[in-house]
Structure 1
Amino acid sequence: MLCNGQLNGELIYRVTALRLRCFHDEADKFPSGFLQKFINLIMLKVTCSSFTYIFSSGSECAGHSETTMKLRILVLVQLDNLEFICEEKSEVQSVIQNIETLSVHRCSRLKNIVPSSAFFENLEQLEVVNCGGLEYIMKSSTITNLPKLRKLCIDFCEKIEVIVASDDENDASELSFMKLGYLRLNNLPRLRSFCKGRHDFKFPLLRTLFVINCPMMETFSNGMLNAPKLIEVRVTPQDDRWNGDLNTTIKKIAVKRNSTDD
């Protein structure tokens, strides 16, 4: 009824959480226009559906809906056809601008988490689990689109080789995650480094770093690292390592792992 517009102009005030499951429509775009009826919607979860896009420039709610100003939590689970969370269009900005938590699970065709034109100005937590098609999480040019990111968790993504893909391999500019305090890299069999480029990285608040079951990772990054509050790297929930700085610690972990394998 919601998707077909059968509620006419009626607004729904009391619903703050909405779960949509098993939508297998001919349309490839999520019918987000009806969200504007949920004036106080805070959490949206979409599962087991066939959408290619969630938010697009053609959405009725893009650009003006009161609802999109309040959406704080977006959870996407087992969307086998999903390629993009939102299009590379400025019109979708109001849809995502207040999202604080984004969780993406088992979306095997997903190609992009953070489009270059999307400014997740309030995103604090990003969790990506079992997304087998991803080769990276974000490009270096989009880090500034995540100014409030506090927690980043990447788990069981079999193709990921880097977390940050450099737009220019010769660019040695400094990149900063000013609010990031928790970073977990878990069961990433092809991960080689956080970033392959020459960028320097600044993590002024990073205290907790997990690097678990990342057998190809031998260095964190090629540039200078500034993480003054980090004093350990956890290789299991119980076991931590530290050798003076982050790159040295990652290298020592790799050496010990390789010697154990031999």
Structure 2
Amino acid sequence: MDTVNKHCFFVYQDAFPSLEELELCEMPELSHVWKGKFQPCNAFQNLKTLKVSECGSLENSWSSSVPFQNLETLQVSKCDGLRYLLTPSKAKTLDRLTRMNLSDCKMMEEIITHLGGEVIENSIIFSKLDHLELHCLASLKSFCCGDYTLEFLSLKKVVVRKCLEMETFCRGVLSTPKLQRLQFTEGEDKVEECWEGNLNSTIQYLFKKMNVRSSKEY
């Protein structure tokens, strides 16, 4: 595949205005989903579902200039080149996101990462996200390691499966007013439930529990 074909789309200001669902699968040489020299304001303006899987060379999921203001479902799996998924500024555009599912991305260390020079003054708010699943993310340390305030106003279900390096959910202030349980499994066993008062404390409790268990095995 040549350099041009390593980019799936060349984005211009009003590209793909009617597209509602986009699925990219089994594209091992794909390094960027899109590329463009403009600052799009209406590109992908009606996209509601984005699914990306088995794109092992993908370096970043999208350009920061593409807003995705109507995205509702985001699924990413088996993209081993990704170390993070979102920047804080990109996360702030996902006002309508209701479901996020991330799985089998071996190098992913955090979902939201801080990039040098990016300043976020207010909270990162996911107002409609009610379903979050993190599966088999072997390198994941945290959903967000930066000192940001995260608000998940509608979050009711969180599933964590085989994310054995996950020490905490976030480093900054966290608000999940509707969440009352975490569903988890350490391996192929049945899903269990745990709650230690808040999401951060629950993730930290499970991480310590796994470390104690591992030390006893040795």
User: With structure 2 as the length reference, what TM-score do the two structures score?
Assistant: 0.88
Q: Secondary structure at the match of 1:252?
A: helix
Aligned to 1:78: 26
Determine whether 1:113 maps to 2:54: no
Paired-residue identity, % = 31
> Contact between 1:88 and 1:118, CA under 8 Å: does it hold in 2?
no
Determine whether 1:259 maps to 2:212: yes
Q: Secondary structure at the match of 1:209?
A: strand
In structure 2, relative to structure 1, the CA distance for the partners of 1:141 and 1:88 (3 Å cut) is farther
In structure 2, relative to structure 1, the CA distance for the partners of 1:135 and 1:64 (3 Å cut) is closer
User: Runs of 5+ in structure 1 lacking a partner?
Assistant: 1-23, 30-50
Aligned to 1:19: none
In 2, Cα distance between equivalents of 1:174 and 1:63: 28
One-letter amino acid of the structure 2 residue matched with residue 52 of structure 1: K
One-letter amino acid of the structure 2 residue matched with residue 223 of structure 1: G
In 1, Cα distance between equivalents of 2:213 and 2:127: 36
Aligned to 2:158: 209
Aligned to 1:179: 128
> Contact between 2:138 and 2:163, CA under 8 Å: does it hold in 1?
yes
> Contact between 2:95 and 2:128, CA under 8 Å: does it hold in 1?
yes
Aligned to 2:200: 247
Aligned to 1:195: 144
In 2, Cα distance between equivalents of 1:89 and 1:158: 31
Determine whether 1:146 maps to 2:146: no
> Contact between 1:86 and 1:92, CA under 8 Å: does it hold in 2?
no
In 2, Cα distance between equivalents of 1:98 and 1:89: 21
One-letter amino acid of the structure 2 residue matched with residue 245 of structure 1: N
One-letter amino acid of the structure 1 residue matched with residue 112 of structure 2: V
In structure 2, relative to structure 1, the CA distance for the partners of 1:242 and 1:135 (3 Å cut) is same
In structure 2, relative to structure 1, the CA distance for the partners of 1:174 and 1:88 (3 Å cut) is farther
User: With structure 1 as the length reference, what TM-score do the two structures score?
Assistant: 0.74
Aligned residues: 210
Q: CA RMSD in A?
A: 2.1
In 2, Cα distance between equivalents of 1:157 and 1:184: 13
In 2, Cα distance between equivalents of 1:216 and 1:172: 29
> Contact between 1:189 and 1:214, CA under 8 Å: does it hold in 2?
yes
In 2, Cα distance between equivalents of 1:88 and 1:253: 43
In structure 2, relative to structure 1, the CA distance for the partners of 1:131 and 1:158 (3 Å cut) is same
User: Runs of 5+ in structure 2 lacking a partner?
Assistant: none
In structure 2, relative to structure 1, the CA distance for the partners of 1:148 and 1:177 (3 Å cut) is same
> Contact between 1:203 and 1:228, CA under 8 Å: does it hold in 2?
yes
Greater alpha carbon shift after TM alignment, 133-142 vs 112-121: 112-121
> Contact between 2:113 and 2:145, CA under 8 Å: does it hold in 1?
yes
In 1, Cα distance between equivalents of 2:121 and 2:162: 29
1:145 shift after superposition: 2.2
> Contact between 1:55 and 1:92, CA under 8 Å: does it hold in 2?
no
In 1, Cα distance between equivalents of 2:84 and 2:36: 17
One-letter amino acid of the structure 1 residue matched with residue 98 of structure 2: R
One-letter amino acid of the structure 1 residue matched with residue 154 of structure 2: L
In structure 2, relative to structure 1, the CA distance for the partners of 1:56 and 1:178 (3 Å cut) is same
Aligned to 1:55: 9
1:172 shift after superposition: 7.3
One-letter amino acid of the structure 2 residue matched with residue 190 of structure 1: S
Q: Secondary structure at the match of 2:92?
A: helix
> Contact between 2:89 and 2:120, CA under 8 Å: does it hold in 1?
no
In 2, Cα distance between equivalents of 1:93 and 1:131: 27
